[in-house]
Amino acid sequence: MKDLSQEYISLNAVTKIQNQDNTHNFYADKQAVDMYFKEHVEPNTKKFSSIEEKIGYLIENDYYDEEVLDKYDRKDVIDLFKKAKEYNFKFLNFMGAYKFYNSYCLKSFDGKYYLEEYTDRVSMNALLLAKGNIKSAYDILDAMLKGIFQPATPTFLNAGKKKRGEYVSCYLVRVEDNMESISRAISTSLQLSKRGGGVALCLTNLREFGAPIKKIQNQCTGIVPVMKLLEDSFSYANQLGQRQGAGAVYLNVHHPEVMTFLDTKRENADEKIRIKSLALGLVIPDITFTLAKNNEDMALFSPYDIQRVYGVPMSDISITKEYYNLLKDDRIKKTYISARKLFQTIAELHFESGYPYILFDDTVNMRNPQKKKGRIVMSNLCSEIAQVNTISTFKQDLSFENIGEDVCCNLGSINIAKMMENACDMEKIIDTCIVSLDSVSRLTDIDCAPSIRKGNEKNHAVGLGAMNLHGFLATNEIYYASNDAVDFTDAFFYTLAYYAFKASNKLAKNVGVFEGFEDSEYATGEYFKKYTEHEFTISSEKVKNLLEKYMLKLPTKEDWIKLAKDIKESGLANAHLLAVAPTGSISYVSSCTPSLQPVVSPIEVRKEGKLGRVYVPAYMIDDKNYKYYEKGAYEIGSEWIIDVAAAAAKHVDQAISLTLFMTDKATTRDLNKAYIRAFSKKCPSIYYLRIRQDILEGSEDHTCTSCVI
């Protein structure tokens, strides 16, 4: 594809220039969008005389999947595509247009032409997710073209395409302490990575270096060789060379090899153990913080001995509850390190690499609505998924002896600003979102991973999240670093949770209840006590006025009591409903601020391949609201970011991709304070740490491209 002159790049660059009177040239970015279409998109788009001709061509030439369209009368399909055009959709900024055409738009097999417009891609998403129900297709189309709802990248990218990857963002796989489980995990990772998914694996149960094998001492080579095999697997399954496969491994901090695990990411690590592309995640129980607070040594327990003595894998016991019993048990081998040294090492590694991710073990398991099924032992590549994985066992030929349950992520996001503009229709819109994500779970083909297929078929878990929080706050003259912002986040997610559960309850009457509902805390009502036993209140008068302005009606305690009763009687279609992902790529397409985090700066600078620097103005920024964007994530600091995430987390049944931002003047002490704050505020997880260096901001993006939505 060729450009005529690339004047749009020059126009986009004008956006960053501040005038002598302190005004800005935000108009230039809108002009860049128009010029981008004139110079690049239009000359490189294949022309058709009609929508009928276009759809016929795309089906006949194996671009569109006819099975998706055959669920509808062809006239209804044509009418939907025509209706989509009537919305007169326009990209709000250049980056959104560029991202769509560079990463999402259907292109000819030879790469010479664009074959879709944005409205076409949305139409195919609506038709796929509605599964033959044309009324539902129109509802999904409306929610997407109004900018309220955005499916995950894999769904949005692949919907309706003949040659496609999966609709699922990422997968979570348990690994047990035997060669069959390890081998199967590696082969499953290859298969899933081939299909475009990011894969996280739990290594907590693997015996440590030097542990016995067949009672012969000092035989086990530990977790690092397994990590090496996984890293090579993801490198090999590189999704047709488009991007390297993405993988993460999680380990409980009381595993004997935790320090070696962290050392694999050191810049100066020996090549024999160095892990370059595999992401690391830690599972940290409450007891670890207690030991660090008291400046005590922490015991590291042999997974081999725990399995032998307790009869269950290490990941399936609460280290916090069992710590002192394990300590007293002479049958359990243990070694000791300083708890404070562990946190110091984590902080050092965060500064070096941005890793590890952190999952707060007891926080997510306390909120786990399926405690009878098991424990949450890991998260995913972006640390927003918190679901139960169960054990699989294998025969010697690696076939399944017993298929356990593993996890896949069916994700989408609400644009908070656009949702608030349509707040009077919130119940209907959230209903549409839950139906859409439920469809992803039922359309997903993951036969290559039977344990994930089983987990998905039994749970149909989804993860509806949100983005553009800072955009909404700024355009309503609320500073991100304020109690008003925390109060609004609390109120919004309180309401979102209510309508999400109501939608899943309604859906259950049509598609059935997820398997195991009767053993969950949804069925007993325990999960809803925080709503049914307490009236929700807002202290901020500004937020009260804001909700009144947008006509957002908060559910009452009586509303929750009735909903909990309805759920007890007729169940839920989905075992999980809410999870807040990073929304890196899709927030650019939607021209809004990412996830719940503040913008990095009012005009973000990114490095985009051959284009070089691209300037991305914040959502609906102008000279009037500029001051509400002026302090970016690094200036705001971690405290307010954590407090906002904690307010949302009270109502999210899974987790939140919480990214921390620090300047290069920050110390490991500052970072440890952030860990403690996030832990004490009951945040479920910490995703990634970004350090501002004296380099082009955005030139290095560590966000997982498999998971972001």
Chain segment 324-379, per-residue pLDDT in tens: 999 999 999 999 999 999 999 999 999 999 999 999 999 999 999 999 999 999 99
384, 405, 468, 683: which one is catalytic?
Answer: 384
**For the chain, what is the domain count?**
1
CA distance 67 to 48: 23
In a domain, 287, yes or no: yes
CB atoms closer than 10 angstroms to residue 653? 25
Flag whether 231 is in a domain.
Answer: yes
pLDDT in tens, 236-267: 876 554 445 689 999 999 999 999 999 999 98
Read off the amino acid at residue 439: S
Average pLDDT over residues 161-187: 94
Catalytic residue among 380, 410, 505, 625: 380
Asked whether residue 706 carries a pLDDT value surpassing 80, the answer given is: no
What is the domain extent for residue 243? 170-401
Asked whether residue 584 is domain-assigned, the answer is: no
Considering the chain, what is the average pLDDT of its residues? 94
In the set 105, 220, 382, 707, the catalytic residue is 382
- % helix / strand / coil in the chain, to the nearest 5? 45, 15, 40
Residue 98 counted as domain residue: no
d(CA 243, CA 436): 27
The 10s digit of each residue's pLDDT in 49-71 is 999 999 999 999 999 999 999 99
Residue from 32, 147, 92 nearest 621 by CA:
92
For residue 273, tell me if it sits in a domain. yes
Q: Which residues pair with 535 in a beta bridge?
A: none
593-631 burial by CB neighbour count: b if 16+ within 10 A, else e?
bbbbbbbbbbbbebebeebeebbbbbbbbeeebbebbeb
Q: Is position 707 annotated as part of the catalytic site?
A: no
Beta bridge partners of 357: 281
Which of 103-107, 241-245, 376-380, 429-433 comes out lowest in average pLDDT? 241-245
Note whether 426 and 419 are within 8 A (CB): yes
212 Cβ contact partners less than 8 Å away, ≥ 6 residues apart: 218, 219, 220, 304
**Is residue 304 a contact partner of residue 211, using CB atoms and an 8 Å limit?**
yes
Name which of 15-24, 406-415, 676-685 the model is least confident about.
Answer: 15-24
In the annotation, is 61 catalytic? Answer: no
Kindly tell me if the per-residue pLDDT of 569 is higher than 50.
Answer: yes
CATH, residue 230: 3.20.70.20
**Mean predicted confidence (pLDDT) in 86-100:** 96
Residue 49 bridge partners (DSSP): none
Q: Note whether residue 355 is domain-resident.
A: yes
pLDDT of residue 700: 41
Query: What are the backbone angles phi and psi of residue 394, rounded to the nearest 5°?
Result: -135, 155
* pLDDT tens column, 9-54: 999 999 999 999 989 999 999 999 999 999 999 999 999 999 999 9
Yes or no: say if 260 and 274 are a contact pair by the CB < 8 Å rule. no
For the question of residue 384 being annotated catalytic, the response is yes
Q: Evaluate whether residue 344 is within a structural domain.
A: yes
Q: How far apart are CA 677 and CA 659, in angstroms?
A: 14
Could you tell me if residue 524 is inside a domain? Answer: no
